[in-house]
Structure 1
Amino acid sequence: MSPKPLALFVTHDGQSARAALTCEYKCGNACFHEPPNTSDGAYFGDIVSSLNRRGLIKGGAAAVLAVGAASVLAACGDDSSGGGDTPTAAGTPATGTDFPAVAPNKDDALVIPEGYEQQVVLRWGDPLFADAPAFDFDKQTAAAQLKQFGYNNDFAALLPIEGQPNSFLLVVNHEYTTGPMMFRGYDKDKPSDEQIAITKAAHGLTVVEVKGEAGSGKLTPVFGKYNRRITADTEFVLTGPAAGSEFTRTGADSSGAKVLGTFANCAGGVTPWGTILSGEENFNGYFANGDKADDPKGRLKRYGLTEGTTANRWERTDKRFDLAQEANEANRFGYVVEVNPWDPASTPIKHSAMGRLKHEGASIYVTAAGDVVSYTGDDEKFDYMYKFVSKRKVQPGTGAAAMRHNLTILDAGTLYVAKLTGDHADQIDGSGKVPSDQGFTGKGQWIPLLETGEDGQAKSLVEGLSAAEVAVFTRQAADKVGATKMDRPEDFEANPFTGKVYVALTNNDNRAKDGKPGVDEANPRKLNKNGQVLELTDNHTGTDFTWSLLLVCGDPAAADTYFAGFDKSKVSPISCPDNLAFDPHGNLWISTDGNALKTNDGLFSVTLDGPRRGETKQFLTVPKGAETCGPIVTEQRVIVAVQHPGEDDEATPDNPQSHWPDGGTSQPRPAIAVVWKQNGGRIGI
């Protein structure tokens, strides 16, 4: 593919390759604030220097559920190196990865391999119900948006409908909205009440029935009985140690257990009992006037809740978003959300026993003994990795009694945070140089923070904090026990064949800056702009694990990159890993967010076993200005959520920088796309 001119990005003082507009609305300019973790607890580098002086995801296997994971937060840094065309390795590719690699590019298109086809399944504003109006960019209303597909799709899951061949539920998160891209003449300082209502309605989740087509991967939305929109005003129930506590009661809710809305929904997971998990991530950006609220213990600040107005200005029409008036409202967000997509009348749940943080998502692993384990990352520079081990097992069946039980599985168990040590402390100098035995490796410990019993009674395992404090202020609890400060831990996914757990560490350009934590073996580069992928061999219900770095991302021609020992001249450039998924053959797939190599984000396959371990191949790229989210990879199709296409600092509705997906002179619209092999072939075969 011949190179084309690069889409315009603003470098923001050399720190970010993402548009300032995206940073403002998506993550509250997290890259340009001091990281909230200023704790003096031991970080990985302190620990290593002091030392030197078969399971299956039941219901989540490819034959049962197709599961994706998605993205967020602040973008990667700029990089002086770029990627060229991708060479092809000699020999036989791993099953599921035999496709011609897509070259890095800057096209305003979804670029896929030769021999494959594509379709847009759903766009922002597409009707979900028979009485929903067709989308009209210039005549939007909140009433219409409540019945239309939401904005900035992220996590996606595809669930087969029992008894209906080739029919599915497609469940999608809608992470955030960008007013200046949604409305002509938008006044950022004083959006209209109707515009505020529209953006609130465009958040949350969508459940929609889709119908497949024999011989292809096409998916057609239908006005089915399961279709549902969940928004920033939908009622939720808060469960676990935080529910009813002094920290979650508000003027509008004296019970402290009835919460309106979900937003900043990033990645997620599918449970063995058929529900959807969604992570509330950058919720802090929705609350104004943190400087005017009482915060003697620095709890608001630790979560990035700071002074002034918000980008969305929801506080203008709803006082619960003004911390000066409702200081506890923010404590009701930042949880793992569970939605039963099979019951449109059900009340979604927020699980506080799993902790409150900037959850990228939550992925479930079930051991051979039937124990349920959930993994989650706190997506912020220098924050932590967590797991939750339930005390309850899955009750089989699809009846009401089984579902009632299964919806409580994540309310009883133990919450842990990770602490890592490395094997080569004296060889880590910040350059990314591979240690002498040709690998980055180490050990780890899961430190217990909170135990919630079968009876609902919870016990803090952190000295000086109550159970409710650990559940609501989990970051500070993890600070106290000296958890390892990581480079933005985002998505976790467990390999359904091996049980190994993979973590996307997106980037951290503050690593080893003056006054900031230094390098360590799991985070081995200074000013880390390209990120890495961590591989854990975990004692899932226990407290010990070993780890290694699978990938140290970036331009393979650069000295500071590593591809599990695979020949770097035969891999695709990859930058800023975000969301992870597995295909039916056990290959890892990675979507990227904020590519620091000056080309479009994309989706990549990675071989995990055998002589080609570490082989990384680009399967597709998303349009300019967009982020790759929600990958689902099955034998028949690959699904991606294309988020914020054309979001650029020069972009306005009168001057769009992208026309994807409809082309011509149309406005860019976030959308779900599906890719399949021509003539009904199998993906990567």
Structure 2
Amino acid sequence: MRKQLPLITTSSAAHPGGRSALTCRFRCGNACFHEVPNTSSNDYVGDVIAGALSRRSALRAAAVVTVATATGAAAVAKAPQARAATASADARAQAAASSRTGAARGLRFAPVAPNTADAVTVPDGYGQNVVIRWGDPILRGAPAFDPENQTAAAQAGQFGYNNDFLALLPLPGERHRQLLVANHEYTDEVLMFRDYDPENPTRQQVEVAWAAHGLGAVVVEEDRHTGRLTAVPRHPLNRRLTATSEFRLTGPAAGSDLLKTSADPTGRTVLGTLNNCSGGTTPWGTTLHGEENFNQYFANGSRATDKRYGIGTSGTGRKWERFDRRFDLAQEPNEAHRFGYVVEFDPYDPHSTPRKHTALGRFKHEAATVRLTDDGRPVVYSGDDERFDYFYKFVGSKRMRHGGSRAVREHNLSLLDEGTLYVAKLTGDSPASEIDGSGKLPGDGEFDGSGTWIPLATATAHGAVSHVEGMSAEEVFVFTRLAADKAGATKMDRPEDIQPSPHTGKVYVVLTNNTKRGLSGQAPADEANPRNANKHGHILELTEGRNRPESTVFAWSLFLVAGDPADPATYFAGFPKDRVSPISCPDNVAFDPHGNLWISTDGNRLGSHDGLFGVATRGERRGELKQFLTVPTGAETCGPIVQDRRVLVAVQHPGEVDGATVEAPASTWPDGPGKIVRPAVVAVWRADGRDIGM
């Protein structure tokens, strides 16, 4: 008898992708309600010659042996709110026992049931704590958080708003301490300020919002007996970078006329970083941060200033242009060209100026993840989070050096300024007639095919060369979307995070959703994006030629097609679908020490709150997916880090529900009734002190 994990089928009204209207407004400037920026006529993924690389799901399914049954008897959340899905104690015990003895290593926990609790819900036997919240002081002299008396000066010394990407870095010489780096993507003014008037924000409110954007670094200390982490305020490495901090433009477009403004006639210095979503860490000890929906901050654009980035022609929702002319493109038409890059931050040098690397291209970077070639050159993967846009990689030409000298440090900080930027083109190996938009598998039993990395431009120490006809190298690096259009890249369903496996070298590309796929005038379903009106998303698995990251060819297949496992259109790498958790809208991903891929979600369309899931990527349980936690009402799961004994998540925008305000909150997390809702970082660990999922 089928034992399907329970689904929640009721939810509040939401914008496309499962988000609230409040999320659409503050995070991306209502991108779903604007015209799709990509109007190019690029070919969709079509037929390919016989012999394309492929694995057959039937063979994989034949290799599957007895596995643990993941039933609806998942762990009861440690919160008093009623659950939307419950199960008996006996069934819970059976699920917990079988999950620990039969599941993949690292995934031996009883899966959390889908729910709508206003809490972080974790498996039985696990504990949690809030590591740091919006407004907690981290710099010397910063005051305690006072939501009724916020100032820009106070916020600049406090942890910022809407934490997204997280990195935990070693701290040599300080036992039981690590350095936590976080993105602060955007602000929800209506949830930050009492009596906020969106049509008439005050200068003080705007300046607080500027200070709440950006990046943060804070030392954290671990409890030796648990996985609990606590912030160490006033540590010398603690730092905040905001929308008014100084950043340096580097690489082939730095100094270009396209980047010059009245305040910066050199085109090399930028104030601020905006809408930093996800990111990555580098082998040389820095962090990377992708500037995503930067377009929404700029007013009064035109066709000349937009260049396919979705910049509006009137005022913005936040009204920042009223308080700083650089946000008004009628006055500073080039200012928007200085955002949309990957930022590199050196968290070990509190006096360093972060760099915006133009060689990695300008688009809505969801993330930037790095691996090295065999000879030590960096390869950076990044998705452009827009419907029908593309995913990219950069292959550096300079080798990483080892050592701790300043000269070595400076050399490594220049690695992302020289190399070649590529965009992906995918081809399916099934007849187009077998791809009908329903998600039904083609005759060979798998969505798969081959692909090529198309070069767009190459940057060297002596200049840059364009590989795109009709565009200069500077234009390619500043108007990268247009260059990829011309190159014939494959239109994808919102490319988000991209992670190479440290165990196998395979590369995982996350596609969150695209409800416009297949609509009149839009690209139809194809083998790499096989569902029309794709509301649940999917994950691609790439194998680059000879498993070398510098290769310009790859094989691909769909590793996971998200949604209700009972839906025939879903797919879990061939694993039995009655033994997996339901998942919708995958977003950020990370690998654990065992090689499992952990997936955070954004905009769950199955009626449950967003969560964090682990899935086996190899072995006989490949495709086994289990939910590890859920986040509170209105929140998104971000920045997952999975260590041996600890899981970290950034709980972003809790309470971001239509109609919610400071006066009428939709969530009371994390501090309870009567307290303002606050984004925060949460650590989860096993109560018995053992490794996660073992």
TM-score by shorter chain over 0.5: yes
Q: Aligned match of 2:604 in 592, 595, 599?
A: 595
Structure 1 residue 329, shift from structure 2 partner: 0.2
Alignment of 1:71-82 (within 5 A): none
Q: Distance in 2 between matches of 1:515 and 1:7?
A: 31
* Cα pair 1:3 1:105 within 8 Å, conserved: no
Partner of 1:68: none
Q: Distance in 2 between matches of 1:183 and 1:452?
A: 45
Distance 2:625 2:288 in 1: 28
Q: For residues 491 and 658 of structure 1, what CA distance do their matches in structure 2 show?
A: 28
- Aligned partners of 2:248 and 2:270 also within 8 Å: yes
Counterpart CA distance in 2 for 1:148 and 1:456 is 42
Alignment of 1:526-675 (within 5 A): 526-539=532-545, 540-675=549-684
Deviation string 1:367-408 (CA, Å, 9 cap, x unpaired) is 333231100000000000100000011110122111100000
Give yes or no for contact 2:564–2:606 (8 Å, CA) kept in 1: yes
User: Map of 1:9-28 to 2, 5 A cutoff?
Assistant: 9-12=12-15, 15-28=16-29
- How many Å apart are 1:215 and its aligned residue? 1.4
* Identical pairs, percent: 58
**Residue 571 of structure 1: CA displacement?**
0.3
Q: Distance in 2 between matches of 1:130 and 1:552?
A: 48
Which letter does structure 2 place at the counterpart of 1:262?
T
Query: 1 CA distance for matches of 2:86 and 2:293?
Result: 34
**Which residue does the alignment assign to 1:282?**
293
Q: Residues 446-595 of structure 1: matches in 2 within 5 Å?
A: 446-453=453-460, 455-539=461-545, 540-595=549-604
Q: Which has the higher contact order (CA 8 A, sep 6+)?
A: 1
Query: What secondary structure, in the 3-state scheme, does the structure 2 residue paired with 1:404 have?
Result: helix
Q: 2:282 aligns with which of 258, 265, 271?
A: 271
Alignment of 1:74-113 (within 5 A): 92-113=102-123
C-alpha displacement of 1:43: 2.7
Q: Is the 8 A contact 2:182 2:217 kept in 1?
A: yes
For normalisation by structure 2, the TM-score amounts to 0.91
Q: 3-state SS of the aligned residue for 1:504?
A: strand
Aligned to 1:225: 236
- Is 1:152 the counterpart of 2:162? The answer is yes
- Tell me the residue number matched to 1:40: 41
**Deviation of 1:20 (Å):** 0.6
For the residues of structure 2 that align with 1:271 and 1:104, how far apart are their CA atoms?
35
Please state how far the C-alpha of 1:438 moved relative to its aligned partner: 2.2
Distance (Å, rounded) in 1 between the aligned partners of 2:150 and 2:649: 26
Alignment of 1:332-481 (within 5 A): 332-425=338-431, 426-453=433-460, 455-481=461-487
Mean Cα displacement is larger for which, 655-664 or 87-96?
Answer: 87-96
Secondary structure in 2 aligned to 1:624?
A: coil
Give unmatched runs, 5+ long, in structure 1: 53-81
| Bigger mean CA deviation after superposition, 83-92 or 542-551 | 83-92
1:664 Cα deviation after fit: 2.5
**Partner Cα distance (1:329, 1:139) in 2:** 32
- Letter matched to residue 628 of structure 2: F
Contact kept, 8 Å, 1:35 with 1:381, in 2: the verdict is: yes
Question: In structure 2, what is the Cα distance between the partners aligned to 1:574 and 1:162?
Answer: 39
Distance verdict in 2 for CA 1:179–1:596, change over 3 Å: same
Secondary structure class of the residue paired with 1:159: strand
Structure 2 match to 1:55: none
Q: Match of 2:129?
A: 119
2:339 is the alignment partner of 1:328: no
Q: Rate the CA distance shift 1:216–1:558 in 2: closer, same or farther, 3 A.
A: same
Q: TM-score, normalised by structure 1?
A: 0.92
Q: Give the residue type in structure 2 aligned to 1:313.
A: K
Shift of 1:25: 0.8
Aligned partners of 2:86 and 2:49: how far apart in 1? 39
SS at match of 1:311: coil
* CA apart distance, 1:51: 13
CA distance in 2: counterparts of 1:9 and 1:524, whole angstroms:
27
CA contact (8 A) 2:227 2:685 kept: yes
Helix, strand or coil for the counterpart of 1:290? coil
Counterpart CA distance in 2 for 1:660 and 1:2 is 26
Superposition deviation, residue 41 in structure 1: 2.4
Instruction: Please tell me whether the aligned partners of residues 340 and 362 of structure 2 are also in contact (alpha carbons under 8 angstroms).
Output: yes
Question: How far 1:603 sits from its partner (Å)?
Answer: 0.2
- Out of 304, 312, 320, the residue aligned to residue 310 of structure 2 is 304
How well do the aligned residues superpose, as a CA RMSD in angstroms? Answer: 2.1
Give the whole-Å Cα distance in 1 for the aligned partners of 2:617 and 2:353.
40
TM-superposed deviation, 1:649: 1.0
Q: Structure 1 516/51 Cα, relative in aligned 2: closer, same or farther at 3 Å?
A: farther
